[in-house]
Amino acid sequence: MDTPTLATPTPLPPLYQRLASHYRGAIHAGSLVPGDRMPSLRALMRQHDISLSTAMQLSRHLESEGWLEARPRSGYFVRRPLRSTLAAVTEPRMDRAPDPAQYVGIHARVSDFVARGRLHMVKTNLAVARCAPALYPGEALKQAAMRVLRKRPDILVSATSPRGNAESRAVLAKRALALGMTLSPDQVQITNGCMEALNLALRAVAKAGDTIAVESPSFYGLLQVLEALGLRALEIPTSPHTGMSIDALELAIQTDDSIKAVVVVPHLQNPLGSIMPDAHKQRLVQLCQASAITLIEDDTYSELVNEGKRGDTPLRAMKSWDTTGNVIYCASLHKILAPGMRLGWMAAGRWQARVEMLKFTQTRSNEELSQLAAADFIASPAYDRHLHRLRATLQVQRQHTAETIASHFPPGTRLTLPEGGLSLWVELPQQLSSKRVFDAALKEQILVSPGLMFSNSLRFDAFLRISCGWPVDREVEQALRRLGQVVTGLL
């Protein structure tokens, strides 16, 4: 009989970082406001029973993040973050009809940016929307995989169901309850990441020449899929605060009867970072149902919404309001658990049988070891602890990145700090072309995502998506400072 192997516990952050998180929370909550004096080093030592060295590390860490300022002979004071001096990203115009649907022609443009990024020597990658490897539970997943192999030594040489491992589907169905969905394991289809799920959903409901309504701006990977399938994209204005404009979509539906589906990221939309209010989600579900248009929900990022935003009201998937099977729910573990596993899943409602057949035709089944290793970890309390730490760490990294941008980018730069996620959507001053910034930054061995990649039109050329998935260490801070100099020099 196998002896169970206990997973190695994830080490806690250093004490000064844990205390810094405590005081950061106090500033967020308003217990400490700009201008308040921080407890002195001696007071911190007494209150937390720590050494002078730890008290100094704590204060200097908060100062480096931009939360405190040191005043000569007076100590540390809470300061107003520099990012609060930046205006929010411009809201789109909602009082006009969307541009006519058009065949997507973005693949060549995106391919050019990607290829050039690969060909050049890149020292700092500010384009990728995922976390640093150290933020993922690599050791715990390794231990989970070893447990699976001990229980199932033949797993690597055995076939599995095209639908996915039953145990894994049961774990995912149980997690879906937290988002308001009631799914049976048989309603869950395992996929190769969320991109395959979106591809299957679009192939199930549309054919070449049909129109798909998408957010504007929208993730360039989705636009590439639409182009590959010969579909037309109808870009709907999208707010950096509340997501897709339901009014603009309703107007589009009234004037274009070729719309077959709507694709929406309700939580931390990529690249804007918007979170759609529940009332908007429910209205969107009802509008699509009444119009006989399939709603495809991309829920890649909901687990990265800040703890404070989650509050006492749990996030709800749009599919939680679905009573007819008209919503196809797509999700991924790629951003939140392990990019190397490429695991996603979907619940296709009334399209389930067609999706299963398309999956069988297209890629057959996913390999089973990663499914079971992920399920082992997700079913344990360690998973929620991992998510809690990940959210807290990303919040600090976003804030630090925003502070650095505010410090070193020229006047007129705008950004809206999202309530979670892996990136910032930055509006450049004077409508500066993101392509010019991309070219100049690449010469400095810095890679960014230009706004041109996120729309079939040119309307987002004056934007950059900047990653916050890596800690803002000296290298990243220097790259952001240099990027600010590049932008200033191009104006």
Q: How many CA atoms lie within 13 A of 230 on its CB side?
A: 5
Residues 31 and 60 in one domain: yes
**Whole-structure pTM value:** 0.85
435 in the same domain as 344:
no
**Residue 125, in any domain of the structure:** yes
Give pLDDT, residue 84.
Answer: 64
Same structural domain, 373 and 401? no
**Quick one: pLDDT at residue 130?**
92
pLDDT of residue 132: 95
Same domain (yes/no): 410, 363: no
**Same-domain pairing of 358 and 389:** no
Q: Residue 170, Cα to own-chain centre: how many angstroms?
A: 25
Rounded to whole angstroms, how far apart are CA atoms 464 and 449? 6
* pLDDT at residue 70 in the model: 85
Please check whether residues 215 and 313 belong to one and the same domain: yes
Domain that holds residue 116: 84-96+108-134+384-490
- 402 and 451 fall within a common domain: yes
Identify whether residues 254 and 355 lie together within a single domain: yes
Is 262 strand, coil or helix? Answer: strand
Residue 347: CB partners within 8 Å, gap ≥ 6?
176, 181, 183, 187, 188, 189, 319, 328, 329
| Assigned domain for 457 exists | yes
2 domain residue, yes or no: no
State whether 67 and 90 are in the same domain.
no
- Weakly modelled stretches of the chain, pLDDT under 50: 1-8
pLDDT in tens, 35-71: 889 999 999 999 999 999 999 889 988 887 778 888 8
Q: Which of 59, 57, 98 is nearest to 75 (CA)?
A: 59
Residues 378 and 389 in one domain: no
**Domain edge (last residue) among 361, 382, 403:** 382
User: What does the alpha-carbon distance between residue 238 and residue 455 come to, in Å, rounded to a whole number?
Assistant: 12
* pLDDT tens-digit map of 219-269: 999 999 999 999 999 999 999 999 999 999 999 999 989 999 999 999 999
Q: Provide the pLDDT for residue 137.
A: 98
User: How much of the chain is helix, strand and coil, in % rounded to 5?
Assistant: 50, 15, 35
Q: How many domains does the chain have?
A: 3
Among 382, 415, 441, the domain-final residue is 382
d(CA 30, CA 61) in angstroms, rounded, equals 20
pLDDT attached to residue 97: 66
Alpha-carbon span 422 to 67, nearest angstrom: 21
CA–CA distance, 472 with 417 (Å, rounded to integer): 16
